[in-house]
């Protein structure tokens, strides 16, 4: 069972676009989620300011992925409210989707498309160029390979590149370092730090140490 009313307040610079200084950009208030009629999350609360990071930890089945999906609006809340800058975040699903970069367990790449083609839709939607994002994850030499030929770590890096390309302020990452080697984890750390330095926020599930200095931790299933 997750901790009740566990709060994690994260600090960081708060740009005008994300609200008044000191105010939480994201606030989860007593979130409760059922899956197949079973109580998985019971009154989970936390706040996150611009530039902040929150690690979701706990044993298998504790509800970490479920919480990420609930925060993304992909899993209905049985009770509780998610606020974005003081407003009910889930009242306007398209607006909420636009503020989220989501990385699930599955990398969700089209196997027959090249790595670059897999990133094209995100690039069109955000208006951002693909090449700097390829460089950030050392993917340029692989850009014209079909995704089906990529290794597990290369696929993970591509999925992370798509999150970066989306330019959303709130990143929800399910075990982002899964399959990454040490160099790729260093690159991930640099990308996360740059995102937070611009006022972006990160919520990540993990079973291992992630390169997110100063992140708060929310323990589920304790
Ligand atoms: N689609 C679903 N329908 C019913 N129950 C589900 C569904 N998805 C997950 N669950 C259940 O919800 C609980 C929480 O699962 P979740 O995937 O959120 O755990 P987790 O903490 O992310 O685990 P792990 O560390 O193994 O990734 C589990 O008991 C799981 O069986």
Q: Answer yes or no: is the C-beta of 63 below 6 A from any ligand 1 atom.
A: yes
- Percentages of the chain per state (helix, strand, coil), in multiples of 5: 35, 25, 40
CA of 97 to the centre of ligand 1 (A): 22
Q: Answer yes or no: is the C-beta of 61 below 6 A from any ligand 1 atom.
A: yes
* ipTM surpasses cut 0.95: yes
User: Ligand 1, atom 2: nearest CA belongs to which residue?
Assistant: 35
CA atoms within 13 A on the CB side of 174: 18
**Torsion angle (degrees, nearest 10) of CA 174, 176, 180, 182:** -140
Q: Answer yes or no: is the C-beta of 65 below 6 A from any ligand 1 atom.
A: yes
pLDDT by residue, tens only, the chain of 222 residues: 333 333 332 222 334 444 444 456 999 999 999 999 999 999 999 999 999 999 999 999 999 999 999 999 999 999 999 999 999 999 999 999 999 999 999 999 999 999 999 999 999 999 999 999 999 999 999 999 999 999 999 999 999 999 999 999 999 999 999 999 999 999 999 999 999 999 999 999 999 999 999 999 999 996
CA of 60 to the centre of ligand 1 (A): 8
Query: What ranges make up the beta strands (E) of the chain?
Result: 26-35, 38-48, 53-57, 79-84, 87-88, 100-103, 170-174, 201-205, 216-219
Q: What is the pTM of this model?
A: 0.90
């Amino acid at each position: 069972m997750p901790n009740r009313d566990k709060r994690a307040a994260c600090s960081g610079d708060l740009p005008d676009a994300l609200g008044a200084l000191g105010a939480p950009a994201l606030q989860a208030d007593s979130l409760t989620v059922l899956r197949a009629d079973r109580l998985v999350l019971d009154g989970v609360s936390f706040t996150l300011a611009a530039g902040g990071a929150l690690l979701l930890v706990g044993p298998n089945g504790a509800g970490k992925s479920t919480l990420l999906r609930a925060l993304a609006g992909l899993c209905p809340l049985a009770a509780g409210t998610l606020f974005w800058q003081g407003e009910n975040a889930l009242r306007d699903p398209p607006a909420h989707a636009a503020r989220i970069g989501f990385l699930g367990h599955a990398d969700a790449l089209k196997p027959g498309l090249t790595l670059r083609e897999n990133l094209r839709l995100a690039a069109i939607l955000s208006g951002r160029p693909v090449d700097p994002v390829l460089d950030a994850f050392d993917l340029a030499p692989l850009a014209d390979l079909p995704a089906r030929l990529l290794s597990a770590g290369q696929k993970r890096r591509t999925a992370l590149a798509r999150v970066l390309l989306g330019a959303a302020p709130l990143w929800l990452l399910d075990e982002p370092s899964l399959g990454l080697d040490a160099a790729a984890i260093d690159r991930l750390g640099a990308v996360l730090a740059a995102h937070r330095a611009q006022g972006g926020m990160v919520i990540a599930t993990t079973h291992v140490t992630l390169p997110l200095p100063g992140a708060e931790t929310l323990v589920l299933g304790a």
